[in-house]
Amino acid sequence: MTAQATADEAARAALGELVGDRAGEWDLTGRIPAETVREASRRGLLCAQVATEHGGLGLDSRANGELTAYAGSLCGSLRSLMTSQGMAAWTVQRFGTAAQRSAFLPRLTGGETAGVAFSESGAGSDLAAMRTEIRRAGDTVRVSGSKVWVTGAAYAGLLVVFGTWGDGAAVALVPADAPGVRIERVPDPMGCRAAGHADVHLDDVRVPADHVLSGAGLPVALLATAALTYGRLSVAWGCAGILRACLDSTASHARERQQFGKPLADHQLVARHLAELAVSEQIVLRCCEHASACWDGNRPELGTQAVVAKYVASREAVKGAATAVQVLASRGARDGHPVARAYRDAKLMEIIEGSTEISQLLLADHVRTGRG
């Protein structure tokens, strides 16, 4: 067995141990215990692609994707934290100096968590409309503005804040406990209820100048695309996990549940649902595997293939979760059941990291400009 495979198995076992059978409880209470989140970070599970030199597991995109899919099959909220933490780590890795990578990446693999602050009340899909300002003030920078629906912010020790910087944009690393930072949990989110979604208010927050990543002044699209590409691929793999969980629950129920003197699985219309679920899972896996191969091979089509994977995976997860609820009927239509949780979680996947409609526009533009 290769070192990579050994690391993969160990990470999967650690993740299964941390979640156990508690995902339903976390979903109902809207919280993952803080110590569980810290332990996931300490074990490197939340950003497993970070290199071992910085305390990470050093997984490639394919192995990290499989781990993310496994998390998605267990707990959508914890998988959301993996997406957020991975986006934060990749942003630091992509734009940070060597000193910044050495300072911040070990924190993200050593027990601390991060939230990536993109969206604002007037700037969701249109990030160019963001009003949060990052500006130099002597040997410090000041950060002012408000962000909405920041995944993981309720658990975070560090906030990766995107904002304006003169005529361009910048990314500032803001301690969540810095004076002027106020974090308000989003009450009663529909899905991924325990992912710590929160609104973040930044009232003239001062941080050292070296907390601004290199690349300050670039267009926001260039800065954001790197993080979003990671996030889209992570969401896609998580959707593969949602489909896997739905297929397992639906197949088990259909084998055991008797109607009209025979198992549900022997009824042709139900069998059709099982077949469609199985095909959806395979379609999503193939899209994810291809996009991860583009990442690992540093191929230029990565950005587009990440959009394809996220678009296909989120759409299939929504359809597959609805199918699972249909087959399980009343058993799957109540809070606490994995299928009901998957149904709610899956819908959010069509919104985050670029909505279905934004994905369609991006892909249409890719074709229209002759790059497809």
Q: Grade residue 372 by pLDDT with cuts at 50, 70 and 90.
A: very low
pLDDT in tens, 337-356: 999 999 999 999 999 999 99
User: Residue 127 has what pLDDT?
Assistant: 87
Q: Running DSSP on this structure, what letter comes out for residue 248? A: H
Structure tokens, 356? 């279905």
Among the listed residues 158, 154, 150, 155, the one whose alpha carbon sits nearest the alpha carbon of residue 89: 158
User: Residue 123 has what pLDDT?
Assistant: 86
Lowest mean pLDDT among 12-26, 261-275, 315-329: 261-275
pLDDT in tens, 9-61: 889 999 999 999 999 999 999 999 999 999 999 999 999 999 999 999 999 99
**pLDDT over 80 (residue 370):** no
Q: In percent, how much of the chain has pLDDT > 90?
A: 88
Beta bridge partners, 161, equal: 117, 172
Residue 364 is which amino acid?
A
Q: Running DSSP on this structure, what letter comes out for residue 186? A: P
Distances (CA, A) of 149 to 350, 352, 363: 15, 10, 25
- For the segment 191-214, the average pLDDT, to the nearest whole number, is 97
pLDDT in tens, 89-110: 999 999 999 999 999 999 999 9
Beta bridge partners, 111, equal: none
pLDDT in tens, 209-236: 999 999 899 999 999 999 999 999 999 9
Q: Grade residue 2 by pLDDT with cuts at 50, 70 and 90.
A: low
Among the listed residues 195, 165, 171, 199, the one whose alpha carbon sits nearest the alpha carbon of residue 341: 195
Among the listed residues 354, 366, 251, the one whose alpha carbon sits nearest the alpha carbon of residue 312: 354
**pLDDT over 50 (residue 334):** yes
Asked whether 79 and 238 are in contact (CB, 8 A), the reply is yes
Q: In percent, how much of the chain has pLDDT > 70?
A: 98
- For the segment 149-176, the average pLDDT, to the nearest whole number, is 97
CA dist 296 and 134 (Å) reads: 33
pTM of the model: 0.95
**pLDDT over 90 (residue 3):** no
> What is the secondary structure of 209-221 as a DSSP string?
GGGBPTTTTB-HH
* Nearby residues of 360 by Cβ (< 8 Å), 6 or more positions away: 311
- The per-residue pLDDT of the chain, averaged, comes to 95
